[in-house]
Amino acid sequence: MADRMLQFVRLPQQTPEKRAVAERQVDFDEIYRDFDPPKAAAQASRCSQCGVPFCQVHCPLNNNIPDWLKLTAEGRLEEAYEVSAATNTFPEICGRICPQDRLCEGNCVIEKGFNSVTIGAVERFVTDTAFERGWVKPPKPRHELGLSVGIIGAGPGGLAAAEQLRKLGYEVHVYDRHDRVGGLLIYGIPGFKLEKDIVIRRRLWLEEAGIVFHLDADVGRTVSLADLRERHDAVLIATGVYKARDIGGVGSGLPGIVPALRYLTTSNRQGLGDQVPEFDSGELNAAGKNVVVIGGGDTAMDCVRTAVRQGAKSVKCLYRRDKLNMPGSMREVKNAEEEGVEFVWLSGPEAFLGDTTVTAVRATRMHLGLPDASGRQSVEPMEGSHFTIPADLVIKALGFDPEDLPTAFGNPALTVSRWGTLKVDHKTFMTSLPGVFAAGDIVRGASLVVWAIRDGRDAAAQMHAWMKHNAAVAVAAE
């Protein structure tokens, strides 16, 4: 091993090559090219195989990273894939869109001084190779259990649970109000971070495993939670969080001011080949416009970069804190800067100007004050510091809250936290309704794909334990 690993002292860190800015600004393809096998093996060999792998500790899935890096360095790619897939339902997706700088790579012990191992890029390479070579088999149970589960939400949380439960032998039905599988993976996150073929490939894999998708099934409207509880032995709610946080102030209702997810969904649908009237009419198309995006998270970064690709005249990101305090991944901020996005730090909107449609944003400079109860520095406006930015399209990317599920599902007994997220027993993942479990953003609040996968897998294990126990009780009572 010693001659193959620990190469960080000799080999510099290399990420997969990024496409040139001029090339990537005009399409929605992923910006990183693929690693070739020698490059992946060389980068994997930089791992120091340290005694306490902090990368693994800080990966929400506790992926066995040092082992699959070593196997990759040795060219044993099928085994590397097996190890990686043992803890992660969608390694090629996490490899592409996890904020590795805050998770595994940010905690790699060689980071200080040598720059971390490019864990995400190797993870993506291993599973993409496994798909190409036919090693990725659909999960097939050894025997059918004769029990069925209903999962509400075909996002990463619901899909990860579906895969685990199908493997155990349950009949699995997934209900989603959208017409495609993937949740935010398909309609939120743009193709330049995660190409849609990658998501569709997983849908086919889950269908091959026998998982049944019921699309255009809006639970609470076209089908009720009560029906699903009747139909299935257990139900999982994995509906994510979709109520966009809003901003008030003078002119905030003007046409031309739109919520981020509506803008991104339109763009994704258009890329998938759908007829999208709001895009064709120009309402949700940034071409030729001065665009201002308000917010500093992942969603804001996806909006600014989408606007660049649609051919906006100018794209500005207005954020009330500074660069250091941005909640989004630094890698994405850097990509946006390279693509020509202008960041207006320490600035917040005060009013939206225009008669029949928005024409400008009046903003105020901010300064950071003392930390509040959460430890985050407060933001205070600076007297008399107004300035105006021309804008034909303003996109609000201020974050998301949960929808009111007890009302939407017609069941007030479904209890929620004071933030509106579903309350679950954190050991069993069960909500206040017996046999109804919950996982992902609807429990955690807006979070990350990798956490939704983790929660979906853990919830599936708890549902299995509960159903096994209930089935045994039922048999004993016969």
Ligand X SMILES: Cc1cc2nc3c(=O)[nH]c(=O)nc-3n(C[C@H](O)[C@H](O)[C@H](O)COP(=O)(O)OP(=O)(O)OC[C@H]3O[C@@H](n4cnc5c(N)ncnc54)[C@H](O)[C@@H]3O)c2cc1C
The piece of 233-241, 276-284, 374-382, 410-418 that touches ligand X (CB under 6 A) is: 233-241
State the binding partner of 65 from ligand X, ligand SF4, none, CB within 5 to 8 A by kind: ligand SF4
Cβ burial 430-454 (10 Å sphere, 16+ → b, else e): bbbbebbbbbbbbbbebbbbbbbbb
Residue 57: CB partners within 8 Å, gap ≥ 6? 107
**Short-list 298, 234, 250, 237, CA closest to 99:** 298
Nearer to ligand X, 44 or 98 (CB): 98
Total chain residues near ligand X (CB under 6 A): 36
Torsions phi, psi of 265, nearest 5? -65, -45
Determine if 175 is a binding residue for ligand X (CB under 6 A): yes
> Looking at beta carbons only, is 70 or 454 nearer to ligand X?
454
Q: Convert residues 263-302 into a mask of x (bound to ligand X by CB under 6 A) and - (unbound).
A: -x---------------------------------xx--x
From 36-44, 117-125, 211-219, 313-321, give the range in contact with ligand X by CB under 6 A: 211-219
Of ligand SF4, ligand X, none, which one does residue 290 interact with (CB within 5 to 8 Å by kind)? none
Residue 414: which residues within 8 A CB-CB, separation 6 or more?
A: 225, 405, 406, 422, 431, 432, 433, 436
Q: According to CB under 6 A, which one of 60, 95, 150, 240 is a site residue for ligand X?
A: 240
Is the Cβ of residue 116 or residue 299 nearer to ligand X in the bound state? 299
Q: For ligand SF4, give the closer residue by CB, 8 or 319.
A: 8
Which of the listed partners (ligand X, ligand SF4, none) does 361 bind, with a CB threshold of 5 to 8 Å by partner kind? none
CA distance 437 to 446: 18
3-class secondary structure, 243 = strand
Q: Do 197 and 96 form a contact (C-beta atoms < 8 A)? A: no
Question: Are residues 235 and 229 in contact, defined by beta-carbon separation less than 8 angstroms?
Answer: yes
| Contact indicator for 358, 349 with CB cutoff of 8 Å | no
Minimum CB–partner distance for residue 57 and ligand SF4 (Å): 10
Q: What angle do CA 101, 105, 108 make, to 5 degrees?
A: 135
Q: Which DSSP helix (H) or strand (E) runs through 371?
A: strand 360-371
Q: Minimum distance from CB of 153 to ligand X (Å)? A: 3
Site string for ligand SF4, 119-138 (x = CB under 6 A): xx--x---------------
Beta strands in 77-167 (DSSP E): 148-152
Which residue in 83, 94, 228, 312 binds ligand SF4 (CB under 6 A)? 94
Residue 96 main-chain phi, psi, to 5 deg: -85, -40
Q: Which residue has the tokens 């097939």?
A: 140
Total residues in contact with ligand SF4, by rule CB under 6 A: 15
Question: Which 410-449 residues touch ligand X, going by CB under 6 A?
Answer: 440-441, 447-449
Q: Is 95 in the site for ligand SF4 (CB under 6 A)?
A: yes
Asked if 88 touches ligand SF4 (CB under 6 A), the answer is yes
